[in-house]
């Protein structure tokens, strides 16, 4: 079934959680400030929703929110140092929302904008939904017009795939998209994930990740570290899927295996959660979830030794990830 409906930022957050698709329709205009109403909620796979943290409230998302629950992150995931960069000889200034740095695309990144539902199939063996967003030249300070698509699909009962692609229209763009899901294989609202076992197929942190790791040794509890996926730097804009991580919960017997085609992964243990009210009346606190955000390396535009995130007109950025669950 073909669709072209504007999607409220909250619904994008829910959709990016991949397991519940909530469709929204703009009333009398597609502007971000237009009044919106919910027109349907579609369960793609109820057996997976229990291991995913989500705030299923239909109140507006604050632009200064920092949890990014299930957010589709862009234009550039992670941090850009000094909220500035130079591209093709031109200097660009961004919105600093992480001290002096830009984090996850700025104060109004892709997780807080209106998306359009292009296609949705809720039944059958492989339900999916495809979203579209046009990011205009100068949005949050970034260069160039950009067309972005993302498809979430459930297949083989317990396999979730996410496909993202972006095309530069007129001039060079920076693109580094990510999926910011919070997972707890013991069940959302079941408490700390510190008893879960995580294996990363990433032998070293990036330079930025190493500095963050140093903070942990100085007393900050938990992980918020960027790692280089083994073999992940090869292939330019087109890379092969590689195994990134395996997570196991001994108490429930559940496991999650993540494959992706990006050079890096941000491992985050929800250090900043505190008293967040989630679905089903659950309350989420520090270390009640973990995130595995596959992506390019942080601050790549300012680090010529990192794989490039520049997408020029005619080029297509692509990011694929596959989550395989066993119960």
H/E/C letters for each residue in the chain?
Answer: CEEEEEECHHHHHHHHCCCEEEEEEECCCCCCCCCEEEEEEEECCHHHHCCECCCCCCCCCCCCCCCCCCEEECCECCEEHHHEEEECCEEEECCCCECCEEECCCCCCHHHCCEEEEEEECCCCCCEEEEEEEECCCHHHCCCCEEEEEEEEEECCCEEEEEEEEEECCCCEECECEEECCECCCCCCCCCCCCCEEEECCCEECHHHHHHHHHHHCCCCCCEEEEECCCCCCCCCCCCCEEEEEEECCCCCCEEEEEECCCEEEEECCCCCCCEECHHHCEECCCCCEEEEEECCCCHHHCCCCCCCEECCCCEEEEEEEEEEEC
- For residue 233, the model assigns a pLDDT of 67
The predicted model scores a pTM of 0.84
More reliable by pLDDT, 13 or 73: 73
- Catalytic one among 104, 179, 196, 293? 293
Respond yes or no: is residue 139 known to be catalytic. Answer: no
Catalytic residue among 180, 188, 287, 319: 180
Reported as a single tens digit per residue, the pLDDT across 3-29 is: 455 544 433 443 444 333 333 322 223
Mean pLDDT of the chain: 81
Please indicate whether residue 59 or residue 53 has the higher confidence score (pLDDT).
Answer: 53
Task: Tell me what pLDDT residue 173 has.
Answer: 96
Specify the pairing of strand 20-26 against strand 2-7.
unpaired
SS3 content of the chain, % helix, strand, coil (to 5): 10, 40, 45
Q: From CA 184, how far away is CA 201, in angstroms rounded?
A: 20
Q: Is residue 158 over pLDDT 60?
A: yes
Q: Which of 27-31, 136-140, 292-296, 303-307 has the lowest average pLDDT? A: 27-31
Looking from the CA of 47 toward its CB, the CA atoms found within 13 Å total 12
Q: What residue spans of 98-202 are helical by DSSP H?
A: none
Mean pLDDT of 125-137: 92
Say whether 163 is catalytic: no
Cα–Cα nearest to 77, from 111, 100, 117, 52: 111
Residue 312 has pLDDT above 90, yes or no: yes
């Amino acid at each position: 079934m073909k669709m072209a409906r504007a999607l409220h930022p909250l619904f994008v957050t829910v959709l990016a959680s991949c397991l519940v698709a909530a469709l929204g329709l703009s009333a009398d205009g597609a502007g971000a400030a237009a009044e919106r109403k919910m027109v349907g909620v579609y369960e793609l796979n109820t057996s997976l929703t229990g291991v995913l943290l989500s705030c299923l409230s239909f109140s507006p998302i604050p632009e200064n929110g920092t949890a990014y629950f299930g957010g589709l992150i862009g234009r550039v995931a992670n941090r850009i140092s000094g909220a500035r960069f130079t591209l093709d000889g031109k200097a660009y200034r961004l919105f600093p929302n992480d001290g002096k740095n830009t984090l996850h695309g700025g104060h109004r990144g892709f997780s807080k904008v209106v998306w359009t539902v292009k296609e949705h199939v809720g039944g059958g063996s492989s339900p999916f939904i495809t979203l579209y967003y046009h990011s205009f030249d100068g949005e949050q300070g970034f260069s160039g017009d950009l067309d972005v698509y993302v498809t979430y699909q459930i297949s083989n009962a317990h396999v979730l795939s996410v496909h993202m692609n972006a095309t530069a229209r007129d001039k060079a763009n920076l693109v580094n998209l990510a999926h910011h899901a919070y997972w707890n294989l013991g069940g959302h609202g079941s408490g700390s994930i510190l008893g879960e076992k995580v294996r990363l197929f990433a032998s070293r942190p990036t330079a930025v990740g190493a500095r963050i790791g140093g903070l942990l040794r100085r007393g900050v509890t938990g992980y918020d570290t960027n790692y280089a996926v083994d073999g992940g730097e090869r292939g330019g804009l087109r890379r092969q899927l590689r195994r990134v991580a395996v997570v196991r919960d001994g108490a429930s017997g559940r496991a999650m295996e993540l494959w992706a085609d990006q050079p890096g992964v941000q491992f985050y243990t929800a250090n900043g959660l505190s008293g967040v009210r989630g679905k089903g009346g659950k309350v989420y606190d520090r270390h009640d979830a973990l995130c595995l955000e596959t992506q390019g390396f942080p601050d790549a535009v300012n680090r010529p030794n990192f794989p490039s995130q520049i997408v020029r007109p005619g080029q297509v950025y692509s990011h694929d990830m596959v989550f395989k669950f066993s119960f």
